[in-house]
Amino acid sequence: MKQGERAVFASKLGIILATAGSAVGLGNVWRFPSMTGQNGGASFILIYIACVLLLGLPCMLNEFIIGRRAQANAARAYERLAGGTPWRFIGYFGVFTGFLIAGYYVVVSGWCLQYVYASVSGDLTGNLTGDLAGDSKIISNYFDTFKADPLKPILWLVLFFALSHYIISRGVEKGIERASKIMMPLLFVLLVVIAVAACTLPGAGKGIQFLFDPDFSKIGGSVMLDALGQAFYSLSVGMGCLCTYASYFKRDTHLTKSALQIISIDSLIAILAGLMIFPAVFSTEVIDPGDGDGLVFKTLPYVFNKAFAAVPLVGNIIGVLFFALLSVAALTSLISLHEVCTAFFHEELNISRRRGALVVTIIGIIIGIFCSLSFYKTEIGLFGMSLFDLFNFVTGQIFLPLGGLLTCLFLGWYVPKRIVREEFTNQGTLRGRFFALYLFCVRYICPLAIALIFLHQFNLL
Ligand code: TRP
């Protein structure tokens, strides 16, 4: 379906599911639980929710407003609203960030596919003996060996990028929208099934307590930045992704309502992911929930296997479902990163959409290969971090909040208020009761809060 010359999402539901599909991803199921684990559980979740509402929501609206107004890819969108001024670099910066995120994101996505395969084939749990310490070592070694393999993870990541390429090259409505409409409900069902199974395990209560009973003494130094970065990351805010999607929204899409719906879905799924992971983890005594990727790729397979050991095969089935779920969530997010870059090449270089998508796929795969190889050869990295960790840290904790901050300054102080209001109220057809509050957040609260968190983090304050 077209609106003027530009593709649009055909239905309201499509808009919500596609955008929520971008938001819900590895960020919810892999990154959020490990951040929560590292930062002490419930207290982190509270700060996280505050960041989502106070900073994530206004920044999401910013991108919606810019994208729908400008009807263009991220780079050109800023340019259209700021004609020839350096503000357009926010857009370029976004596309650049998109490549870095996609590059390491696809590596983790590839791991998920491998784990679906390994759970089905029994590779993952076939050798377990029932001995606690020994088994957890076997699974742990499995992951370390696999991730540092020079070839296998790369094959999976190429396959995963190819899937994303296929969807993207089918277009906005037939590709992104249709895929999201199938995958998002599937994801939700899988998640609920596993969460219910996990919460009924003996000892699950401790995990639920960890999630909902805050202990403020556990709040460490970088909690604020971690929560802020995680909020932006999880909502896909800060690099023009939502801006690109919003350029496919219809003129009468209610932006505030859509943003609230997307944020609710995203947060609900993050909490559900916590409810599926921590009860399972706490029900088997050995586990340290603080470990990063280990939580999902080492701890969980072991936990599923042990926790559901009473009934044969259930552990394996849950394992397969879980990694299938993670792959689906990752795919709907990767396509949004893919789309940002594809729309950029397609419109800026005047090449066809398919060709644009191909360029992105090739560059993305190359970055992905380097990220993956940084586990094989640890020299591939900078500042003492592997390339993978570096991209994860730099994009999540620095580039996204920075992108969000610059966008606030742009929309709050540079773009004429009249234009912002027009877009916020759908050309005056909505009352826009929250406009003043929104603008206040964008002008003052968000920039100050983000700046303070940065300064604090880097010990300048
Ligand atoms: N939000 C996704 C997740 O939670 C990841 C993602 C997709 C993303 N597009 C993005 C993150 C754009 C930042 C910016 O997994």
List Cβ neighbours of 265 (8 Å cut-off, separation of 6 or more). Answer: 16, 20, 23, 24
Q: What is the pLDDT along the chain (461 residues), one digit of tens a residue?
A: 445 567 888 888 888 899 999 999 999 988 898 888 888 889 999 999 999 999 999 999 999 999 999 999 999 999 999 888 899 899 999 999 999 999 999 999 999 999 999 988 878 777 777 776 777 788 888 999 999 999 999 999 999 999 999 999 988 888 888 888 888 888 888 888 888 888 888 888 888 888 888 877 766 557 888 898 899 999 999 999 999 999 999 999 999 999 999 999 999 999 999 888 888 888 776 555 445 677 788 878 877 777 777 777 777 888 888 898 889 899 999 999 999 999 999 999 999 999 999 999 999 999 999 999 999 987 777 777 889 989 988 998 899 999 999 999 999 999 999 999 999 999 889 988 899 999 999 999 999 999 988 887 776 65
For the Cβ of 22 lying below 6 angstroms from any atom of ligand 1, the answer is yes
d(CA 19, ligand 1 centre) in Å? 10
Residue 234 lies in a domain: yes
Residue 98: give its domain's CATH number. 1.10.4160
Closest CA to 367 of 92, 95, 154: 154
Residue 2 lies in a domain: no
Beta strands in 2-120 (DSSP E): 2-3, 6-7
Please say whether the beta carbons of 346 and 41 come within 8 A. Answer: no
Closest CA to 251 of 411, 442, 430, 56: 430
pLDDT of 129 reads 72
pLDDT of 1 reads 47
pLDDT of 286 reads 53
Give the SS3 label for residue 132: helix
Rg (CA), the chain: 21
For the Cβ of 236 lying below 6 angstroms from any atom of ligand 1, the answer is yes
For the Cβ of 191 lying below 6 angstroms from any atom of ligand 1, the answer is no
Ligand 1 atom closest to 97 (CA): 14
Ligand 1 atom closest to 395 (CA): 13
Measured in degrees and rounded to the nearest 5, phi and psi for residue 422 equal -55, -45
Cα gap 337→101, rounded to integer Å: 8
For the Cβ of 25 lying below 6 angstroms from any atom of ligand 1, the answer is yes
Residue 7 lies in a domain: no
For the Cβ of 23 lying below 6 angstroms from any atom of ligand 1, the answer is yes
- Structural domain tally of the chain? 1
Residue 31 lies in a domain: yes
Give the residue numbers spanning the domain of 39. 12-457
d(CA 335, ligand 1 centre) in Å? 10
Closest CA to 41 of 201, 219, 233, 295: 219
d(CA 133, ligand 1 centre) in Å? 36
Ligand 1 atom closest to 23 (CA): 1
Residue 176 lies in a domain: yes
Pocket test for ligand 1, best of 106, 108, 233 (most atoms within 8 A of CB): 233
Closest CA to 230 of 39, 411, 410, 428: 39
Residue 4 lies in a domain: no
Please say whether the beta carbons of 47 and 35 come within 8 A. Answer: no
Pocket test for ligand 1, best of 236, 325, 328, 394 (most atoms within 8 A of CB): 236
Cα gap 144→229, rounded to integer Å: 27
Please say whether the beta carbons of 2 and 8 come within 8 A. Answer: yes
Pocket test for ligand 1, best of 336, 339, 341 (most atoms within 8 A of CB): 336
Residue 1 lies in a domain: no
pLDDT of 321 reads 86
pTM of structure: 0.92
Query: If you take atom 13 of ligand 1, which residue's CA is the nearest one?
Result: 236
Residue 5 lies in a domain: no
List Cβ neighbours of 188 (8 Å cut-off, separation of 6 or more). Answer: 269
Ligand 1 atom closest to 232 (CA): 13
Pocket test for ligand 1, best of 337, 360, 395 (most atoms within 8 A of CB): 337
Write out the two tokens for 352.
């066809």
